[in-house]
Amino acid sequence: MVSMDPAIERGVGGIESGQALARPAPPRLRLPLGSLGALRALLLPLLILALWQLAVNREFYSRGQLPPPLDVIAAGQELQSIGLLVPNVLASVQRVAIGWSAGAAAAIVIGLAVGFSRPVEGLLGPTLNAFRAVPSLAWVPLFVLWLGIGDAPKLTLIALGAFFPVYTNLVSGVRQIDRRLIEVGRAYGLRGWGLTREILLPAAFPSLATGLRLGLAQAWLFLVAAELIGANRGLGFLLVDGQNSGRADIILLSIVLLALLGKGTDFLLARGERRLLRWSDTFRGTA
């Protein structure tokens, strides 16, 4: 049996470190990023905040055009006090959740069928690729015409935005599955849904996860586009409202909230992805 004795690996490591001692590497200037842990993710936002405050202090724009960060927080408190902050945030979150789920679910079903079957690919692939080439915002007038100005056209637009990244990544993921694993499934009696559940989906999951995260980012993008067109609640509505009333603090607040929500939801997906991909032995970047 092949030895998995960690002592052997330690031995190899020992030789390497011995060589490193004999020939020390020249000193390099290194940022102490490793020791910061999760805090290093805050470095850039803090720098942006500092530059923002500096720009305010230097009066590049009037205070009405570029309010300081604290004014933005105050705008949030003001909206909260009149009961407008949470309902608008929740409206947007709900739209993204429903639109993204619907778009991703459709993309998973169609992507699996197209990825697995060449006849289905021949039937649907070219048309879907043509639809993908249409900038999704071009559909907006049609959606409004067909579905009115309620939530339906907004959700459809968000679902459409989420659909293509999930679909494209999943089809490519299915086509990259090791053919020999599908053969194992077949040899051990897996067919149809069993083969899909046990082999295709888990094997294509790394690509699917990437698609789901890209789809979510698209969903937030399309949410704002949908809410800018005509909405009476949501973060897009706050943006338009801020623009109409000349309140740059509300516009900036909406932008910051969108960034936080986008990052927060992506973080949740990334955690789920990491957990579901515990089995994968891939390169994760250097320390």
Size of the site for other proteins (CB under 8 A): 21
Rounded to an integer, what distance in angstroms lies between the CA atom of residue 180 and that of residue 208? Answer: 20
Closest distance between other proteins and the C-beta of residue 208, in Å? 12
Among 144, 181, 221, 225, binds other proteins (CB under 8 A): 181
One symbol per residue from 123 to 162: x for binding other proteins (CB under 8 A), - otherwise; what is it?
Answer: ----------------------------------------
Rounded to an integer, what distance in angstroms lies between the CA atom of residue 273 and that of residue 234? Answer: 28
Closest distance between other proteins and the C-beta of residue 82, in Å? 50
Asked whether position 9 contacts other proteins by CB under 8 A, the answer is no
DSSP string, 226-252: HHHHS-SSSHHHHHHHHHHTT-HHHHH
Asked whether position 189 contacts other proteins by CB under 8 A, the answer is yes
Q: How many CA atoms lie within 13 A of 267 on its CB side?
A: 8
Asked whether position 188 contacts other proteins by CB under 8 A, the answer is yes
Residue 236, classified by CB atoms within 10 Å of its CB into exposed (0-12), middle (13-18) or buried (19+), is buried
Pick between residue 43 and residue 178 the one whose CB is nearest to other proteins. Answer: 178
Q: Which residues contact 24 (CB under 8 A, 6 or more apart)?
A: none
Q: Check: CB of residue 166 under 8 Å from CB of residue 103.
A: yes
Pick between residue 143 and residue 205 the one whose CB is nearest to other proteins. Answer: 205
Among 62, 119, 279, 285, binds other proteins (CB under 8 A): 279
Residues that bind other proteins (CB under 8 A): 1-4, 180-181, 183-184, 186-189, 198-199, 202-203, 205, 278-281
